[in-house]
Amino acid sequence: MEKPSKVRVAVVGATGYTGAELLRLMHGHPGIEVTTIAGHGKAGQPVASVLPSFHGVIRGEVAAVDLDQIARTADAAFCGLPHGASQAIVRSLRERGLTVFDLSADFRLRDLAVYREWYGEHTAPELVEQAVYGLCEIEHDAISKADLIAVPGCYPTASALAIAPLVKHARIDLDSIIVDAKSGASGAGRGLSESTHFAQVSEGMRAYKVGALHRHLPEIEQTLSRIAGRDVRITFTPHLVPMIRGILATVYAKQTSSFTAAEATEIARAMYEGSPSVTVLDPGINPDTQWVRGSNRCFVSYAVDKRTGRVIAQAAIDNLVKGASGQALQCFNLRFGFPEGQGLEAVGMFP
């Protein structure tokens, strides 16, 4: 499509971690004009008081969510609302003709029965079929034509990008996939929680929602099933580690026939050729979350355990950038005709 000079954008739910990250990234995007910064709980407060990193950069107050006003002043909206809260607002924004990028889980799952099992009732089911899953490396063409993009979750992004090339080329046993993933505390959001405050997180590491209890499980399975062309079931164990940002997903699977780490690397490089975000590392180099911190990059690598016939795929991302807001902006670029990596060129903040 023809690229506009500027796209007017509203950020709804702008005062959480993903909203703040969206505003940070948009500040460096030459094709975006942010016209509305809206939120429920912080409406009326100065933006710089709620998001102190924007002192001297953004003036004015957090606006109340006025959908008619947003429709008059914006062409697209990013919704950084909690799961369940997006449905009515997304419906209203779509009825008013806006292109919507939703960062909640409300439109990610295609099967409403699966959604109800994990999240409860859906109040805008007619929009689920219209939504395109926003994993750019997999759904590139569909995103460029969509008016409702469901931005993927952080664990599903890292997990899928690690193992997708081997699923696509039928190089692994689809019934053997195990995802072991670690995340920083920002993945739990900005709200206060006993399990995520400093004293509970620092100096320790723990698994949580073990045994097919994490809501990102069906999302990972949906992506891998779509690539494989058949149902895929995995074992998924998330862990909370004492850092703020980052996800490291380590994925184990049995080989269908023997191949080397170098062969897996070449398969992945062919699949991700041209991606501004995914870099496939040479065998023997293991991704580190520190290398991607603050960036929209994803580092992937492969190793093979010859004794057991298993491949080990790894992916490191920043959960707030490639795992949320940066991915949303990458989808925006595809949808509005900008270079896919526009505004997302920064490398990780090392160390």
Catalytic residues: 154
Contact 143, 127 (CB under 8 A): no
Other beta carbons within 10 angstroms of residue 29's beta carbon come to 19
CB burial class (10 A; 0-12, 13-18, 19+) of residue 120? Answer: exposed
* DSSP state for residue 323 in the 8-state scheme: I
Q: How far apart are CA 36 and CA 59, in angstroms?
A: 12
How is the beta sheet containing 32-38 ordered, strand by strand?
Answer: 32-38, 7-12, 76-79, 99-102, 148-150, 132-133
Bridge pairing between strands 178-183 and 235-240: parallel
Other beta carbons within 10 angstroms of residue 202's beta carbon come to 10
